Amino acid sequence: MQIVILDGYTLNPGDLCWKPLAAMGELTCFERTAPQDVLARSKDAAVLLTNKTVLDENTLKQLPKLRYVGVLATGTNVVDIKAATALGILVTNVPGYGPDAVAQMVFAHILHATQQVARHSDAVMQGKWSLSEDFCFTLSPLQSLKGKTLGLVGFGDIGQAVAQIALAFGMQVIVNTRNAKLVLPAGCTWVTQDSLFMDSDIVSLHCPLTTATDKLINRSVLKQMKPTAMLINTARGGLVDESALADALAQGQIAFSGVDVLSTEPPQKDNPLLKAPNISISPHNAWATIEARQNLLNIAVNNLSGFLNGDAVNTVN
């Protein structure tokens, strides 16, 4: 049985081991696959593993040997699920492999703004502390998280992990989800979406990208937020109207934004957030701690093993 990984580099740039997959068949791993190469590389495969390489209906129809597609991520938008189902191809994904990693990045962005470690470290290296008349050198006021209000839009595994960290910092946590009757842990309170945007010192997005949430953060919403507020997005780039956010930062409507995702990745050179003030952008790597990637690989191996043994798990069709 031929197993082909179409784009293995982001999951395993060399610090993980493919041997558990190789033990289940004849394994071929490509670091990346361009659209024009997908068919040639997939034509003899019974099993395809993909992270971001697209498998559309036209492609799937030309792969008669294919019986299984394992998505090396949680989102499955890169695979035409309806076509796969019609063709008898099972599709699995990898849910919940790294909520702690993403939650950690949320607070990396928050602390980047509140503690200004990078800014002060740069100034120290430039000799500015050495020239200070005082033992304590501060470029601008730092902020404590204790007592601040964190608003979470969405409360899945990642949102819950973020809430735990926030509570440990002594923050107030308010939550908006589609289900107002959701049972929340102690210290967390459900509020309406309008209340969340108006009352939060920090808004962090943890909801899926759907037609209802596309550009959820728009000019109207940004005007609702406090001028001292922060917006954190480690979910999906399409949740934010990037032009509106860039303008809000430039005009001081909000104080800061930290994002790990953009609407197009890698970003176009004219993406307005690349020139916006008071923003930190990490390159969609919140998920990518070595521990989270190892967990993702372990789940992917278990998914394929389950399929081969007639006990499929994490199926999406």
Positions marked catalytic: 236, 265, 284
Here the contacts of 165-172 (C-beta below 8 Å, separation 24 or greater) are 165/103, 165/106, 165/107, 169/145, 170/145, 170/146, 171/145, 171/146, 171/147, 172/147, 172/148
- Contact present, 22 and 5 (Cβ < 8 Å): no
Strand partners, 173: 150, 188
Backbone angles phi, psi at 256, to 5 degrees: -165, 155
- Contact present, 51 and 10 (Cβ < 8 Å): yes
Strand partners, 56: none
**Helix ranges restricted to H, the chain:** 19-22, 38-42, 57-61, 81-86, 99-115, 117-125, 157-168, 193-199, 219-224, 242-251, 290-308
Going by their DSSP bridges, the two strands 230-233 and 202-205 should be labelled as parallel
CA 275 to chain CA centroid, nearest Å: 22
